[in-house]
Amino acid sequence: MTEEIIIAGFGGQGVLSMGKIMAYSGIMQDMEVSWMPSYGPEMRGGTANVTVILSDERISSPILRIFDTAILLNQQSLDKFEKAVRPGGTLIYDVNGISRNPERKDIAVYRIDATEEAIRMESSKTFNMIVLGGYLKIKPVLKMENVLTGLKKSLPERYHHLLPINEKALSRGMEIIRKLD
């Protein structure tokens, strides 16, 4: 099994840390992992993206043009990466701030209103965990127990009191993600 994922959005949405939690979780279940971020000026307020690869085999290229799954969290990312999904692949997006919905018919498109849900949960920082929950519902490549361990490992200890709300965010994401026809 190899799952090649691009996660893209605004800097500050937790794109890179979401990828990091996935990579940690992959390690928990003995997978090979790679986490390749965009770095530099684009991280400072602009767009941020990260390529995460989870595999049972040695990972060749950590840099890809075509992905199994694209998680796209703003309009620029949707414009840039919708075409980068493999035919038959998966696209997950949050409708917030989107002026043009995904158009591809040869891929499975899922919508997750994570921004709205994060506001409902009164914690904007849970946004990325809601998205991750949604992803895991569609692609259960990572076991929830490993994701929780991964989350714990990648959060500094001073934030460990936030683990319960993040866990709740993961399960809310699983509930609210829905497929578009």
Question: Whose Cβ is closer to other proteins: residue 62's or residue 97's?
Answer: 62
Pattern 110-149, other proteins, x by CB under 8 A: ----------------------------------------
| Location of structure tokens 């993961």 | 170
What's the length of the chain?
181
Stretch that binds other proteins, among 17-25, 90-98, 128-136, 157-165 (CB under 8 A): 17-25
Query: 103 - beta bridge partners?
Result: none
The set of residues, in sequence order, having a beta carbon less than 8 Å from that of 29 and lying 6+ positions away, is 142, 143, 146
**Distance from C-alpha of 8 to C-alpha of 153, rounded to nearest angstrom:** 23
Q: How far is the CB of 3 from other proteins (least distance, A)?
A: 15
* Residue 75, token pair as written in the block: 């309009």
Q: Which is nearer to other proteins, 143 or 153 (CB)?
A: 153
Rg (CA), the chain: 15
Least distance CB 174 / other proteins (angstroms): 25
Taking the least distance from each CB to other proteins, the nearer of 11 and 116 is 11
Distance CA 50, CA 45 (A): 15
Binding flags for other proteins, 43-82, as an x/- string (CB under 8 A): ----------------xxxxxxxx----------------
Structure tokens belonging to residue 38: 């965009």
Interaction between residue 20 and other proteins (CB under 8 A): yes
